[in-house]
Amino acid sequence: MTEKKTKIFCTMGPKCWDVPTLLELIDAGMNVARLNFSHGDHEAHGATLARVREAASLRPGKNIGVLLDTKGPEIRTGFFREECKGKIHLTAGDVVEVTTDYSFKGDEKKFACTYEKLPTSVQPGSTVLIADGSLVLTVIECKATSVICKVENNQAIGERKNMNLPNVKVDLPVLQPKDIDDLQNFGVKHGVDFIAASFVQSAADIQFIRATLGDAGKKIKIIAKIENQEGLDKFDEILAETDGVMVARGDLGMEIPPEKVFREQKMMIEKCRFYGKPCVVATQMLESMIVNPRPTRAECSDVANAVLDGADCVMLSGETANGAFPRAAVEIMARTCIQAEMMMRDADPSGYNEIFKLMKASKKSSGPLSQALQVEAATSSAVKMACDISAKALVVLSETGETARLISKFHPDAPILSITSDATIGRQIEGYMCNATSIVTTEKRGEGRHIRVGFEEGKKRGLFADGDTVVAIHTMRNAANIKQWTLRMLEVSSNFTH
């Protein structure tokens, strides 16, 4: 079977977190296991992580990444009076008061929320969405510690439901006390590979997260989840600071009109491609497979269009966490990615169009986000050379993963084979970079040792054979400690010498 280039993130949950099922997901195409810290405690996530790593150890040819997804600064409704039995029933046209006194036990006339600044954040006419938008309120009046709202539709809601405020800048830190504890006492302690940061609204948020991770967590890659208008408004500054981006369409579709989500998705993917930052498209991609063995045609089209737009990764949430068909969901997602990739290959069989399109854009750009053109020249030249000679692979010697990332930016047809001594870097490259796989070795770099490792492992994986040609790229530092780029065209050989 043709290998997919696009990476797949799978959310962990009771329907998939046993070792046998995890092995099935890995075999089907999972690249990253997502731990959703909106639910569960450290003990439960630690047990899941142990099983993920046990399953990964049984597939030594794979480098499976682990992502910690923060709960973030979410707003929730409060608890109800005992006689409500955990649920209230609201009727269109009724008036309800939402108070910031979280100790208040509510009913159909008044209930609490967790956001203390609600009365100063909204204004008459503002919309409040509760329980994934199933309940719509319109603000009538703002008081000192509450807001009076009109109920727009009949709905019953339970306790502690999520609340969204479209077109409102929520004045909450990107990391709540729970998130800080999760990052420092779980993420850093257990060596996760990625952090997905919920509700990022500025570059300062990313800087705060890096400071929170500290020196011990400096290797962890940060993926900014864009979930509201403020994040969209400051997307360029966020993109400059973050390692990757997640198009988090769930909350984004609550915070902006749903008919505009596709447009913002395309914008974010395009900018991520331009700046070489991996992009993940998430939420409801194969939602119907939570209960059905086959997805809808619209869902398959959604996955395919994300790939055609240039996404590096696509994500499954409830489909794997609590769905009835986790393996089938990964399999059909992988097959859909392959079909979209084949379509792109047919549209640009030479592979040159995308290279020159991105290079022209880089050359024209003079903004703060521009990559140094010498780096772009080296990596694009490697990809172009691979196209010129129909190379079987692009072999990258990696210490930090940056060279692999800037080659992956071009989504080359030739697979990227990264050789590294750092297992974390290996999981990150293979986890969220398009068409990139890793070989982690204990061999010391130098005198052609990593190239030989790449040749031997690449042959075992069927990427190439003796006599085939590959393009090798790596950096070295001169006597002045300045990074220099080396690009070579090599013939695969069991007797390779430096």
Residue numbers annotated as active site: 34, 76, 225, 283
Alpha carbon distance 261, 256 (integer Å): 7
CA pair distance 320, 22, nearest whole angstrom:
10
With beta carbons less than 8 A apart as the criterion, state whether 212 and 177 touch.
no
Phi/psi for 370 (5° steps) reads -65, 135
| Cα distance between residue 25 and residue 91, in whole Å | 44
CA 90 – CA 161 distance, rounded (Å): 14
Instruction: Give the Cα separation of 430 and 417 in Å (integer).
Output: 9
Q: Which of 249, 323, 234 is nearest to 279 (CA)?
A: 249
Alpha-carbon span 127 to 139, nearest angstrom: 6
What whole-number distance in Å separates Cα of residue 326 and Cα of residue 322?
8
Q: Are 244 and 206 in contact (CB under 8 A)?
A: no
The SS3 call for residue 376 is helix
Residue type for 160, please?
Answer: R
Please tell me the distance from the alpha carbon of residue 161 to that of residue 163, in angstroms, as a whole number. 7
Residue 419, SS3 per DSSP: strand
The residue type of 194 is F
Helix (H, G, I), strand (E, B) or coil at 485: strand
Of 389, 362, 357, 420, nearest to 487 by C-alpha is 389
Question: How far lies 104's CA from each of 83, 97, 363, in Å?
Answer: 14, 12, 59
HSE-CB for 38 with a 13 A CA cutoff: 20
How far, in Å, are 136, 155, 347 from residue 159 at the CA level? 16, 13, 51
Residues with Cβ within 8 Å of residue 85, at least 6 apart in sequence: none
The two three-digit tokens of residue 118, written as one number: 């609600």
Whether residue 121 contacts residue 146, with contact meaning beta carbons closer than 8 Å, is answered with no
CA distance 147 to 110: 10
Exposure of 390 by Cβ count < 10 A (0-12 exposed, 13-18 middle, 19+ buried)? Answer: exposed
d(CA 200, CA 252): 12
Contact 129, 190 (CB under 8 A): no
